[in-house]
Each structure stands twice: as structure tokens, then as C-alpha cells.
Amino acid sequence: MSRVLVVGAGLSGGACAWLLRGAAPGRVTVWDKARGAGGRMSTSRAAWDAACTADLGAQYVTRETKRAGRCCSFYEELLCHGILKPLMAPVEGMVAKEGSCNYMAPQGISSVVKYYLNQSGADVFYEQHVTCISLRDGKWEVSRKTGPPEQFDIVILTMPVPQILQLQGDIVNSFAKLSCHTAEICQSWGLQKLERSCGRGEGWRRMEMTACGRLTEMRERCQCPVINESQKQQLESVSYSSRYALGLFYEAGTRIDVPWAAQYITDNPCIRFISIDNKKRNIAEPVSCSLQFPEIPAFACSRSRTLPEWPLALRCGGTSFAARLPHESPEIGPSVVVHTTVAFGSEYLDSDPAEVQQLILSHLERIVPSLPTPASIKCQKWRYSQVTKAVPSSPGQMILHTQPLLICGGDGFTCSNFDGCIDSALSLAEAVKSHL
């Protein structure tokens, strides 16, 4: 029974684990270096109230009906279970594409990934930072910063491509590393100690032959690293944009008086996007009022339609319109999300986070001077925010080693949106199933 490891609990990794639930029941493990699921579909929570949340990564999901293709069933399932709902809140500056629909996640954008992980039946472990992948007795031995290494028959890598290239072990071994392997093996087999205590007798020769066999195995692997030169060049060609995100958390009852739920900013060198996150996700308490308008002709109401409840729900058949206006909930504190421009993110990528936070806040005050002082702030650096150049001509994955299978995927092999991540997950699952 093959053990499968998925590295990365983002959308591609979570969806891949879900797709493998039937082919490898109870045999899939997911590791992620973060403290929770989501990857770049991350939702953060206020320290004092888990209900006060902010989407610091992806803000909403856009479905382009003409291009959805094999992703259609994924949208339908998430909508059916209430994981996604139509984005009805006003977003100023949003460029609407013909034939596209936007969805938000009422429980936070990370709930999309959590849904797939929960339904997958996989064993999911967080704060597991993978550092090294090496061949051991026909399996992959995967090491992490904390905890002992474990062996798997199949390893699926879904983290950003630069992090794949940073892995150590046989995945990048070369002749230069052979000498250190030789020293490690001699030390582990205790040849020098045995020679000093017993001389070169029969026991020493048997151990020497075993160690030599191991060295030969290591030498063969060192001559041919898992990632070949062509693959390495393709992976190194992948590029990402970088940006910062701020999450501002407020106490319950705080009022944020702006006429929009989210806004794209076009004239600021620092800030690109601002969201009143609870309003965006329609979890603010609505206040109903009646507005009087002239009589509506009967033909205007002849068709039965389901109309959005927020920001305006219309009830035909008379002169009364019932409007539902946003108002902060008295029980859940509001939250604000700020995304910087790519240029700002690149310029301050390696700067002190505290200084970056203050700089962003100073720009935010100029744009929204009425914004109250938050109870707490979280500054998130997205070094690998969105793919600007993917692996060329990729089917959504790349097989690095066939037997045992080592395969990588994610948006670095497609594009940085929902469809791109799902396309990669589908390609990964198809390739893996043939090896189970």
C-alpha cells in the first residue's frame, strides 16, 4: 500500500489530496510549514476573537464561464455547500469581465482549502517544514526542521517553485556532495572505530562490503540528480510578484463609515486594494428600511427572480422597496485588509516588517482618514504572491522522478487563480493515480 505525501496545504495541495481520496484512502499525508491551511488563500483571526477574521491572501474567486472547463464541478460543489457565495458587496474600481462571476467565502477564503482537506480523509500536519528529500531503499525519505524523517512511496510538491529549488538531498545532489556522504556513511557504519578495536578481521570486511555498496548507490545518485538540467532551467524561469498585506482587527461595535466594502486604489504608490472584510463577506448586521418609489408597471414584475439580499433587495408588487444597508455587528468586530502594490512589495521586500507596517499605515490614513485605531494589526509578507511567469508549456505538473514517483505542481505550472490551481491539482492526481 503506497504512502503518499503532499507538501503544501494550499489550494493545489488540498484539492489534490481530495482528488486522491478514492484512489489512496487513508494513505495520504499533507505537510505544511504554516500553522494552518490555506497557503496564499489565508485567513487570519484576531487573538481575542476567532470570529473576527481577515483574508490576507486571495480576496475572492472569479469564475470565467467561457474558460471554466473541467473546473465547473468544483465551483458547483463549493456553492452547493455554502463554501462560496456570490460577491454582492460593492467593490469600487473592480474591472468586470463579460461572462464572469465573482464569489466570496463567508467563513474566510481559507475555508475553501479546509473543505477539500476535511473531505480528503488525509492526515494533515502543520508546522512541518520540509528541508531535504533523498532516496532510501526505493522510497523517498523526507526530512523536516523538527521531527524525525519519514519514508513515502510518492511525494507531491505543491509549494512555490523557488522553495522546491531550495530543497536539499538527492533532489539536487552532485559530485561535490559525494565526499560528505562518504564521511557520513563511514561514521554511521563505525568502520574506523571497529578497525581501531578489532583490526581488519572478517567482521570489518563484511561491514566494509555493505558500506561500499551504499557508497556505490550514493555515487550513482550523485551522478544524476533528481532535477535534471533542463528541468532546473524551466523551474528557474518561473517568477512571482511580491507584496505586503495588513490585517487590521477591531473590537466589536466599532463603526467603519465608508460607502464601499472594498476598493481598488489607482493613485497611490503603496496601496493597491482595501477591503472592509466583514462587509465584503456580508457578515455585517443588515439594517432594513423602506424607500418609496413610483408604482412599478406590472410587466416589470412578471418574472419570478431571486434577487440579492445585499446591498439592495427589491420586492416588487407595490411601491415599497426593502433595502438592507450595511451596519457593523454588535457581536463581531470588523476587520480591514490592505494589499500593497507590487512595486512597493518589491522595493521593501527585505525591509524591517515593523517599518514597512508603519509606512503602509501612513498611506492608509491619507486614503481613509476616518479609519479608527485598530486593536491589533498583522503584517503579512507575500514573497511569492502571484505567478508572473509560469513553467513554459506545462501540463500543470512536472515529473521529477518516476520510480519512486516525485512530482511537483501548483500555480507555478499554470496561473495564479482558482482555475489554475484546480487544473494543476487535476493533472497531479491523474499522474499519481497511475502509480498507485
**Quick one: pLDDT at residue 298?**
38
Taking only the tens place, the pLDDT of each residue in 242-279 is: 999 999 999 999 999 999 999 999 999 999 999 999 99
**Quick one: pLDDT at residue 117?**
98
Q: Determine the Cα–Cα distance for residues 394 and 413; give it in Å rounded to an integer.
A: 6
CB 5 within 8 A of CB 156: yes
Least confident of 11-15, 17-21, 222-226: 222-226
Taking only the tens place, the pLDDT of each residue in 357-407 is: 999 999 999 999 999 999 999 999 999 999 999 999 999 999 999 999 999
End-to-end CA distance of the chain: 8
**Quick one: pLDDT at residue 297?**
40
What crossing angle do the helices spanning 178-189 and 191-198 adopt, rounded to 10°? 40
CB 219 within 8 A of CB 332: no
**Quick one: pLDDT at residue 202?**
61
Is it the case that residue 191 has pLDDT exceeding 50? no
Taking only the tens place, the pLDDT of each residue in 96-122 is: 888 899 999 999 999 999 999 999 999
Q: Determine the Cα–Cα distance for residues 369 and 386; give it in Å rounded to an integer.
A: 30
Geometric angle at alpha carbon 351, from 380 and 374, rounded to 5°? 40
Q: In what order do the strands lie in the sheet with 154-157?
A: 123-126, 28-32, 4-7, 154-157, 405-409, 397-401
Cell of 351: 525591509
Question: How many percent of the chain have pLDDT more than 90?
Answer: 70
Mean local confidence (pLDDT), 290-314: 38
Question: Which of these, 381, 386, 359, 371, lies nearest to 276 by C-alpha position?
Answer: 371
Q: Rounded to 5 degrees, what are φ and ψ at 78?
A: -65, -35
Strands 271-276 and 335-340 come out as antiparallel
Q: Residue 163 — very low, low, confident or very high, per pLDDT cuts 50/70/90?
A: very high
Write out the E strands in 68-115: 85-86, 91-92, 100-104
**Quick one: pLDDT at residue 208?**
56
Computed over every residue of the chain, the mean pLDDT equals: 84
Q: Residue 315 — very low, low, confident or very high, per pLDDT cuts 50/70/90?
A: very low
Mean local confidence (pLDDT), 150-157: 98
Taking only the tens place, the pLDDT of each residue in 194-226 is: 444 545 556 545 665 565 555 445 544 444 678
**Quick one: pLDDT at residue 162?**
98
Q: Which residue has the higher pLDDT, 55 or 50?
A: 55
Q: Determine the Cα–Cα distance for residues 427 and 402; give it in Å rounded to an integer.
A: 15
